[in-house]
Structure 1
Amino acid sequence: MGAAKDSLRAFWLQAVRTARLIIGVPDYDTYVQHMRLKHPGRPVMSYPEFFDERMRARYRGGGGRCC
């Protein structure tokens, strides 16, 4: 029963991530991982800071990628 539950949970988490990407909600965990790997000396925004910045970038019509 544990393996089936773990598989269902993994599927659900991936479905949620996919749905968020489709509707344009940014993924904070991916951002944190990117910052730690690509920009280790730079500070990482808190979730509220990240969300506000992503919404501003989305609705001002500019790009939002650093790399």
Structure 2
Amino acid sequence: MGAARDALARFWLQAVRTARLIIGVPDYDTYVAHMRLNHPERPVMSYPEFFDERMRARYRGGGGRCC
């Protein structure tokens, strides 16, 4: 029973991550892991800082979009 529960939990976490990517919500945990692995000398942004930066990056640029 424990193995099935663990598999279901892993599936659920992956489904949540996928849904967030589809709707454009950035994945903070992936960012933190990347920063710690690849840029240990740089500070890691807090979640509010990270979210704000990702939204600015997503919506900056010129002009509107039709869809």
Give the TM interval when normalised to the shorter protein: 0.7 to 0.9
Give the SS at the match of 1:49: helix
Taking only aligned residues, the RMSD between alpha carbons, in angstroms, comes to 1.3
Q: Please, which runs of 5 or more residues in structure 1 have no aligned partner?
A: 63-67
Deviation string for 1:28-67 (max 9, x for gaps)?
Answer: 01101111111111100001110111011111139xxxxx
Q: Given residue 25 of structure 1, which amino acid in structure 2 is its aligned partner? A: V
The total of aligned residue pairs comes to 62
Q: Which of the two has higher C-alpha Rg? A: 2
Structure 1 residue runs of 4 or more that deviate by more than 3 Å after TM superposition: none
Alignment correspondent of 1:65: none
Q: Given residue 53 of structure 2, which amino acid in structure 1 is its aligned partner? A: E
Q: Please, which runs of 5 or more residues in structure 2 have no aligned partner?
A: 63-67
- TM-score normalized with structure 1 length: 0.85
- TM-score normalized with structure 2 length: 0.85
The sequence identity of aligned pairs, in percent, is 89
Aligned pair 1:49/2:44, yes or no?
no
Aligned pair 1:17/2:31, yes or no?
no
